[in-house]
Amino acid sequence: MDKTLLLNPSDYVGVTFWIISAAMVAATFFFWVERDRAVGKWKTSLTVAAMVTGIAAIHYFYMREVWVGTNASPTVFRYVDWLLTVPLQIVEFYLILAAMTAVATGLFWRLLVASLVMLIAGYLGEVNAENSSTLWICFVIGMAGWLYILYEIFAGEASKINASQGTEAGQRAFNALRMIVTVGWAIYPLGYLWGYAGGGDAAALNIIYNLADFVNKIAFGVVIWAAATSDSASKSAS
């Protein structure tokens, strides 16, 4: 294995780690500063959005070094990052729901447990990737965790939000976050499939996961920022 200390500009996977590191730092700073423009509960939502991208930035710096130095997937730090940031995103989702309607805290715990099942299964599958039955059983368990989350937000308690509840900005945020959890999160299992089916391709795996993190952490925050600033603008105008 070719070991090196510096990022080779033709290492396109390494370059995506680099670009996303910068984007995560910029997003953190942006959400943090924009918090001043939000009112009430929206301030907390922007704080959480900044925490997510800030935690990811630190992991991206390190994951980039692992990739540059070893050309291997930084699986452990990838999952440490997800284990910290996915629960924060579930908190974020729940805060928005709770602001719109009375939702039981049981919903929060169900979403949290399902996300942990999804991530722990994914981790066990990836660190045991040489064993293909473990790899694919874990994939199926991880998929079940994600599908359960989709069930909760499209057909379960969380879906019972109707057009008369909450502010317009809150509803827009809820619908957009739902799309992110459906379409944006779907990129991860595709990365797992592409990365491991047929012998394994670490470059494809990391490039797809990096793209997914860019969408699901930064766009997720931007959706919250858009709702927070439009709601706050209408409140301060009235």
Ligand X SMILES: *C/C=C(C)/C=C/C=C(C)/C=C/C1=C(C)CCCC1(C)C
CB of 179 to ligand X, least distance (A): 13
> Do 149 and 165 contact (CB within 8 A), yes or no?
no
- C-beta closer to ligand X: residue 27 or 86: 86
Binding interface with ligand X (CB under 6 A):
82, 85-86, 89, 118-119, 121-122, 139, 142-143, 146, 185, 188-189, 192, 213, 216-217
Q: How far apart are the C-alpha atoms of 99 and 167, rounded to whole Å? A: 9
Which position's Cβ is nearest ligand X? 122
Q: Is 157 helix (H, G, I), strand (E, B) or coil?
A: helix
18 vs 82 by CB, closer to ligand X? 82
Name the minimum Å distance from CB 49 to ligand X. 12
CB of 56 to ligand X, least distance (A): 6
Closest CA to 21 of 77, 72, 92, 90: 77
Distance of alpha carbon 123 from the chain centroid: 15
Nearest by Cα to 62 from 45, 43, 51, 75: 75
| Minimal distance, residue 38 CB to ligand X, in Å | 22
Please say which residue, 30 or 146, places its beta carbon nearer to ligand X. Answer: 146
Torsion angle of alpha carbons 151, 94, 214, 86, nearest 10°? -80
CB nearer to ligand X: pick between 15 and 117: 117
